[in-house]
Amino acid sequence: MADSLNGKAAITGIGETEYSRGADKSSIGLMLEASLKAILDAGLKPQDIDGVIPYSLGPVGEEIMTGLNLTDVRFSAQTPMGGASPVAALQCAAAVIAAGVCNHVLVVLGRRGSSDSRVANRIAAMPQFRQISEFENPIGAIAPAQLYAPMARRHMELYGTNEDQFAEIAVTMREHAMLNDNAIMKKPMTVEDHHASRMISDPFRLFDCCLESDGGTAVIVSAADRAKDSRAPVTILGVAEGHPDSPSTITQRPDLMTLGLAKAAPRAFEMAGVKHADIDVAQIYDCFTYMVICELEDLGFCKKGEGGAYVEGGRIRLGGELPTNTHGGLLSQAHIAGMNHVYELVRQLRGEGGAAQVAGAEIGLVTGYGDLGDGSVAIMQKAS
Amino acid sequence: MSDPYLKPLPEPSIDSLPYWEGLKDRRVMLQRCSDCRTVRHYPRPMCGECHSMEVDWIEASGKGRVYSWTVAHHPFHIGFKAETPYILATVDLEEGVRIQSQLLDVDPADMKIGLAVEVIFGQATDDLVLPYFRVAK
Ligand SMILES: [Zn+2]
């Protein structure tokens, strides 16, 4: 059980569109463009794809099958966990591959988060937010910034976590984005810029909040024995999802600061058979600066309450002990709901990270966080 | 003519209707398991402790303490534009469950974990009363 999915599957192809605030393509157009790039990158033809897992918000599997003319799909599903969906989809893909159902599963996400419906309207329509809609929207708790801010506030009150530590994350993401040709935010940011940005929902300022973006990203998860012929396969060593206590509402959760990732991470590390010190590069779901702190704690890189101090002193910058979000993250590259984090981890482990390449990166980790506390994590290694 | 009510309206379910009906009488009603007596919120059909589906409704004291909070500055919904900034408090009720609402008439600088608060009621529409908080007297 512990090593059930270790080595069973590898990511063989990755594809992304241009990330922007005004795409000239529909969401399905963005998904198909990214998908085709990923399929070709894997050295495959569209007809080789026999599994499809699209993001749970937006165009469905049937549209992808029609669009790419896939005629032999044997498995399709969604993993409706908001930003935890892409990494949870890797677990889903690896599981159906290990079961022998599929050889090549397409995991794809495309959205017009900037050009179409904005986040407060999007989540109101999601069944995962039903209790929020009934009990919290009427009194003015509407958007993720407002729903998540009390988690950050309590962390600050109990542990002394502060806005300089939030700024360190925001500035780091911006510096990394400036090294990325496919990043939206390219203007330099200082700690002072962060502190001067307008308050959205205390303690979150504008520069603590992720972008709203248009774009598509796709990866191909292949059976290990079918991955050998591809150009640069990256093996999934460990993958897991976890759900917090009271997953349908944050308000009723016994401990607001411990999320689903805290349950998933020990399973993923055990499955992978690696230690935290083995992780050369990390892509951490960064919808808000604080979430990076919380996830580093839930992952076990430091104890609960120590995440603020952990990110200080350049530890998560390129050249630091744990280079994090080398693409610029949701905060400064683009918000592709974390599928861009999966793409970036594969890029790094292939040694194709360009100006943001972590020297000698062999093993890396990617997380997802979504809805109201769901978490997912995958640990990968370049195939030998 | 009063201004149109622009805020989101709750859609009560068969499980939550007594909560919303109770608010109309200016009472905060909570579900209590008929079998193991565990109090739960938000309203739902089954007790998570003993899995009984039998339920009694009890009236909360309305007294509680701040667990955490945020100060909402950016209006994400047109209905709240006129009231920003407002404090959204997550409150531990005496009965052992939480309730979230706006905490009125308090300086954000005075906010702290453990602040004692009490429920007050606001008539939102003819058919809707919402719970709010103020600092306990
Ligand atoms: Zn019970």
**A219-259, pLDDT tens digit by residue?**
999 999 999 889 999 999 999 999 999 999 999 999 999 99
> How would you class B128 by CB atoms within 10 Å of its CB: exposed for 0-12, middle for 13-18, buried for 19 or more?
middle
Tell me what ipTM this predicted complex has: 0.96
Instruction: Please give the pLDDT value at position A1.
Output: 62
The mean per-residue pLDDT over the stretch A185-191 comes to: 97
Dig out the tokens for A134 from the structure: 């009934």
Q: State how far the Cα of B75 lies from the Cα of B81, in Å rounded to an integer.
A: 5
pLDDT score, position A128: 85
Query: CA A23, A49, A370 angle in degrees (round to 5)?
Result: 55
Task: List, for residues A346-362, the tens digit of each pLDDT value.
Answer: 999 999 999 999 999 99
Q: Give B57 to chain A, closest Cα distance, Å.
A: 17
In CATH, what number is assigned to the domain containing residue A94?
A: 3.40.47.10
Sequence-distant (≥ 6) Cβ neighbours of residue B4 within 8 angstroms = none
Q: Is residue A290 part of a domain?
A: yes
Confidence of residue B34 (pLDDT cuts 50, 70, 90): very high
Contacts of A131 in chain B (CB under 8 A): 42
Domain contains A55:
yes
Is residue A131 within 8 angstroms of chain B, CB to CB? Answer: yes
Segment A150-170 shows an average pLDDT of 98
Largest separation between any pair of C-alpha atoms in chain B: 51
A266 in a structural domain: yes
At residue A2, the pLDDT reads: 75
pLDDT at A189 over 70: yes
Is A149 in Cβ contact with B70 (below 8 Å)?
yes
A377: helix, coil or strand? strand
* Cα A43 to Cα A114: distance, rounded to the nearest angstrom: 32
**Is there a domain that residue A185 lies in?**
no
**Residue-averaged pLDDT of chain A:** 96
A29-68 pLDDT per residue, tens: 999 999 999 999 999 999 999 999 999 989 999 999 999 9
pLDDT in the model for residue A261: 98
Q: Which residues of B touch A154 (CB under 8 A)?
A: 67-68, 113
Q: What are phi and psi of B15, to 5 degrees?
A: -80, -30
Number of domains in chain A: 1
List pLDDT tens digits, range B72-91: 999 999 999 999 999 999 99
Domains, chain B, with CATH or none? 12-59 (no CATH), 61-137 (2.40.50.840)
- Residue range A111-152, pLDDT digits in tens: 999 998 888 788 777 888 889 899 999 999 999 999 999 999
3-state secondary structure labels for all residues of B66-117: EEEEEEECCCCCHHHHHHCCEEEEEEEECCCCEEEEEECCCCHHHCCCCCEE
Q: Flag whether pLDDT at B19 surpasses 50.
A: yes
Structure confidence at residue A3 (pLDDT): 79
Q: For residue A234, which of A127, A383, A344, A105 has the smallest C-alpha distance?
A: A383
Mean pLDDT (whole number) for B113-131: 97
Calculate how close chain A gets to B20, using CA atoms only, in Å: 10
Cα of A90 vs centre of ligand 1, distance in Å, is 37
A54 in any annotated domain: yes
Contact B80 A141 (CB under 8 A): no
Determine the average pLDDT of the residues in A183-196.
Answer: 98
pLDDT digits (tens, 9 = 90+) for A291-319: 999 999 999 999 999 999 999 999 999 99
Band of pLDDT at residue B22, cut at 50, 70 and 90: very high
- CA–centroid distance for B102 within its chain: 9
CA B130 vs CA A44, A186, B88, B118, B121: distances in Å: 57, 45, 14, 14, 6
The model carries a pTM of 0.97
> For chain B, what percent of residues have pLDDT higher than 70?
99
- The answer as to whether A161 is a domain residue is no
CA distances from A89 to A9, A92, A112, A266, A336 (A): 13, 5, 20, 19, 14
Q: Is the residue at A182 inside a domain?
A: no
Of A171 and B137, more confident: A171
Q: Cβ distance B76 to A143 under 8 Å?
A: yes
Chain B residues within 8 angstroms (CB to CB) of chain A: 7-13, 16, 41-42, 67-74, 76-77, 80, 83, 85-86, 88, 90, 97-102, 108, 112-113, 124, 128, 130-132
Q: Which domain holds residue A21?
A: 9-116+210-382
> Does the structure show a pLDDT above 80 at B1?
no
Count Cα atoms within 13 angstroms, Cβ side, for B65: 8
Residue A139, in any domain of the structure: no
What is the structure's pLDDT at A124? 75
Digit-coded pLDDT (tens) for A89-101: 999 999 999 999 9
Q: Per residue in B51-71, is it b (16+ CB within 10 Å) or e — as a string?
A: eeeebeeeebebebbbbbbbb
Question: In the prediction, which pLDDT does B2 show?
Answer: 61
Among A294, A243, A293, A298, CA closest to A276:
A298
**B41, B71, B102: residue with CB nearest A252:** B41
